[in-house]
Amino acid sequence: MEKKAIVIGSGIAGLAASIRLANKGYQVQVFESNAYPGGKLSEISIQGYRFDTGPSLFTLPEQVDELFTLSGKNPRDHFQYKRLKVNCHYFWEDGTTVRAYADRQAFAQEVKLKLGENPHNITEALNKSAYIYQYLAPLFMHRSLHRWSTWLNQKALKAYLRLGKLGLFQTMNQANKKLFGNAKLVQLFNRYATYNGSNPFQTPATLNIIPHLEFNRGAYFPEKGMHDITQSLYALATELGVNFSFGKPVEKIVIEKQVAKGVLVQGRFQASDLVINNMDMVNAYKTILKDQLQPKKLLQQPKSSSALIFYWGISKEFPELDLHNILFSGDYAREFDHIFNKQTIFEDPTVYINITSVYKKDDAPEQSMNWFTMINVPNNQGQDWELLKNRARTSIINKINRTLKTDIEPYIVVEEILDPISIESKTSSANGALYGNSSNNRYAAFLRHANFSSNLKGLYFCGGSVHPGGGIPLCLLSAKIMSEMIPKA
């Protein structure tokens, strides 16, 4: 008899998990509370403007390709992407701009020209990033941290011998201040802490692993937009026989004698041999696992930052802007202090603008642009978000006007807003935190939920709130780590 697996949630990790389990011979049923797949990785279209709603940076595309290859298909027949020549365009209010070229030498020369920084320092920083990746990725990205086999092997031993060089004992900001002489370049490299919702003045320098992904491995853009990752994987899963039920939230994971037996959906029991939870771990324990033993220490960990996003249809083209753009705050330390300590929004926020119409022209009408305009904000702790949104909108517009020497307001012809409250309601992310628990201490990696339940047989976890963390590549890896624990049907 064919074994059955139920996946709760069709976020990017849930889609990947369903594909991997189908390839293992399971009959897979996915229950999704929304009317669409993808979770945060979805899209909206308004009056001729299309926006990817969630993650906007694409690295490690081989993690997507692998799912097609595993399924016996040529990835290029189903999903196309291109490597970026400029990873990001950085702006400061004093008129300084830096293009982060994907080519390391070109980036080093740009930094020398614009900031007066020794090009050798860029080379050293990216080599150090690659070094951290070489020794930590096999442990922290590709294996479970919650099994002894991860720590008792040759790769682990090599990492132990290099602990002093892997950034565990200083903050990201401390490490970057040692590497670079120019404060703007320190700020540029500190920004990588935001890739998993952390504070560069607190998070360990091990997170300097991230520039390796962007520069040494490459940043990419799907030719049909980020939402095509969702669409292509959803189509693949469907082709493999995975069944999706939308608008059907799971009410409970049914446990009998410490074994997951299935789920309750609309009052009806759905039996299965395995249950895979792709829902945010914190909210899962509050709702569908509320009757089970609670991992209180994990649930009480500080959460990552959230986001406030303005989807703006702009009826003008700005040729100085690229796909990824950053307009930096004049005081980064105070900005993060506001986010993580004061739980509010700094009056001079760093503004990220993602514009897919730079590469995908039909994402906006002619001579227009689709601006995904985002600032990092605290997760929801009961703040007055209507007040904060109004203040932030004014601060963002003023920031753009000062930096780009424009008056942007008359060109905003379309607007949608996503805040921490709506992020939580649409994606079940606890408190609207984008990446689950924060990484603001050196033990944070060990304070993420495992990809399996230690006390409930047949229950597994994947997604941004569990190991190895948030972001598209890590979500896909969480599904891979999890699936490797599950035998073939």
pLDDT in tens, 108-164: 999 999 999 999 999 999 999 998 888 877 777 666 666 656 556 676 566 655 666
Output the pLDDT for position 160: 53
Output the pLDDT for position 156: 58
Three-state DSSP at 194 gives helix
Low-confidence ranges of the chain (pLDDT < 70): 141-153, 155-164, 166-167, 441-447
Tokens of 425: 């309601």
Its pTM stands at: 0.94
Distance (Å, rounded) from C-alpha 285 to C-alpha 300? 12
Peptide bond into 468 cis (omega under 30): yes
Output the pLDDT for position 303: 87
Three-state DSSP at 338 gives helix
How far is CA 265 from each of CA 93, 216, 385, rounded to the nearest angstrom? 53, 45, 33
Q: How many residues does the chain have?
A: 489
Output the pLDDT for position 301: 85
Residues 6+ away with beta carbon under 8 Å from 456: 255, 258, 259, 260, 292
Output the pLDDT for position 416: 97
Angle at which helices 183-190 and 104-115 pack, to 10 degrees? 140
First to last CA, the chain: 9
Output the pLDDT for position 353: 98
Question: 289, exposed or middle or buried, with CB in 10 Å at 0-12, 13-18, 19+?
Answer: buried
Tokens of 205: 């320098």
Distance (Å, rounded) from C-alpha 346 to C-alpha 194? 15
How far is CA 170 from each of CA 157, 200, 442, rounded to the nearest angstrom? 21, 11, 9
**Strands 324-327 and 412-418, bridge-based pairing:** unpaired
Residues 6+ away with beta carbon under 8 Å from 240: 19, 22, 23, 28, 71
455 secondary structure, DSSP code: S
Question: 249, exposed or middle or buried, with CB in 10 Å at 0-12, 13-18, 19+?
Answer: middle
Three-state DSSP at 51 gives strand
Q: How open is the CA angle 375-378-381, to the nearest 5 degrees?
A: 145
Distance (Å, rounded) from C-alpha 309 to C-alpha 54? 9
How many other C-beta atoms are found inside a 10 Å radius of the C-beta of residue 52?
A: 26
E strands present in 299-364: 306-314, 324-327, 351-354
How far is CA 98 from each of CA 56, 106, 218, 333, 337, rounded to the nearest angstrom? 20, 11, 18, 21, 25
Tokens of 330: 């004049």
Place of tokens 């008129």: 95
Amino acid at 308: L
